[in-house]
Chains A and B, each alone.
Chain A
Amino acid sequence: MIWKIFLFLLLGFVSVAGIAFPIVEKPSAWYEFPFIPGLEENAKIIFFHVPTAWLTVIAFLMSTIFSVKYLRKKNLDDDAKSYSAAQLGIIFCILATVTGSVWSKFAWGSFWSWDPRQTSIFALLLIYGAWFALRSSIESEDKRATLSAVYAIIAFVTVPFFIFIMPRIMAGLHPGSADDTNAGPVVNFKMNSSMQLIFFLSLIGFTILYFWMWRIGFKSIILRDKLNKQLIIPNKSGQEG
């Protein structure tokens, strides 16, 4: 319970601070953000865009970890965990794509410009879509769990190409691209300390939110499976499930 109150306060503070704190030329008070040339007021979306993109990758990572676990132990609960991680992953992936393209419309002039990072998030969206298409095409539970675990792992090993290699060798618009003169970690990029604080608080808040939602998700899937088995097995074999 205390976690939920803490999370609510954290995300409430991040949302209010991210949207309402003013952007000024020379920040003096702690709640003032610096004026970044080229970004201006658009800079505030960073508090919501980067965490969603981060969670897309975290969700994929968790999904892959539990896929590996499933292949080792063949426990269907791990498949449920992997599935619900990916369900959240595709939601955050869509959110990251939408917030990103809104930001790109105002910062770069068009909704979509095939910047390397936009290509990566598009590829992630395709991977998630293909993964769910594969799952829906298989009837048998064990087979579905095995094949989708294998596909998740194969897809996961291609992700480093999209996230770490492509953006650094191809010319792009995001900070950290190959032709960016102030290339470096995205976070140090012209933020002052108050902006960084809100940024990291937002990352932490969204990550906790993700793990909380994920726990609810996989618990409900496991419970549903259990209930289904209790309903089906006595009818089929005439015994208690």
Chain B
Amino acid sequence: MKSYSLYQKDYHSEIRTRYAVNSLAMFIIVAISVILFSIGNEKINQSLTGGLYWVVIFFSAMSGLARAFVSEEERGTSLTLQLIASPSTVFTGKLIFNLILVFLMNIVITILYAALFEEFIIRNFLLFLLTFLLGNIGLAVSSTIIAAIIAKAGSKGTLYPVLSFPILLPLILTSVQLTIFSMDGTTIGESIVELAIVVCYDIIMISVSYMLFDFIWKD
């Protein structure tokens, strides 16, 4: 329950300033419009649309999710958190907040994307939903643990995408593949291997994060 209170604390301080939500929303609009401008009147094919969808998701996540632990360090509240809660509780609270942020962000991206890109037609909706769920969980977990590392390291913003990209690469490659499958209308049975990879990735990342967060969090 303590982790839920931690989530509520983050939620209230987010509602007060709306910093993460505002910057995320603007970033999504900027990223999608840059892609739309660069495409112009060209017709792009399906696989490129699926790939660009994950490009937007990756860079939006990089701009919005780094704040989770950096804000604590900036306000000097991380020592208080260390006193009142165990490391895994803190991590769960931050993870819930980032999960909700990622899901909100990706729902907005998907709606905008479906409205603006003609080729973005989902033929196997269930597969897309599974990809969306599993991909977002993996994205949230990996970016939360990297955010914790970044908050303790010297340079805050610039290092975040550099550190996250190699960690997220297996997830992104497989998710792009699965998104293209769901646009082709491939059945779930045929794409079971890719789904299994994403599930493995999520489980591995969750367990590794919980095991290693203690070392990052304690100074």
Contacts and interface: CB of A to CB of B under 8 A. Distances in A.
B216 A133 contact: no
A166 B200 CA distance: 13
A95 to B, nearest CB: 19
Nearest to B145: A154
A71 B170 contact: no
B173 interface: yes
Nearest to B212: A150
Contacts of A133: 159, 162-163
A134 B153 contact: yes
B208 interface: yes
A166 B176 CA distance: 13
Nearest to A125: B166
A161 B197 contact: yes
B218 to A, nearest CB: 9
Contacts of B200: 161
A71 to B, nearest CB: 5
B152 interface: yes
A150 B149 contact: yes
B153 A158 contact: no
- Contact residues on B (Cβ < 8 Å of other chain), bracket: 20 to 34
Contact of A149 (B152, B169, B215): B215
B170 A162 contact: yes
Interface residues of A, number: 28
B197 A137 contact: no
16 contacts: A126-B166, A130-B162, A137-B154, A137-B159, A139-B154, A147-B152, A151-B163, A154-B205, A157-B208, A158-B170, A161-B201, A162-B169, A165-B197, A166-B173, A169-B194, A169-B197
A155 B212 contact: no
A207 interface: no
Contacts of A151: 149, 163
A153 B149 CA distance: 12
B35 to A, nearest CB: 21
Contacts of B205: 154, 157
A133 to B, nearest CB: 6
A133 B161 CA distance: 12
Nearest to A133: B162
A143 B169 CA distance: 26
Interface string B174-204: 0000000000000000000110010011001
- Chain A residues touching B, majority SS: helix
Given A137-B155, A138-B153, A157-B204, A169 B193 contact: yes
Interface in A137-193: 137-139, 143, 146-147, 149-151, 153-155, 157-158, 161-162, 165-166, 169
B165 interface: yes
A17 B165 CA distance: 41
Contact of A147 (B155, B170, B173, B216): B216
Interface string B125-149: 0000000000000000000011001
A123 interface: yes
A57 B111 CA distance: 42
B167 interface: yes
B210 to A, nearest CB: 12
Contacts of A196: none
Nearest to B155: A137
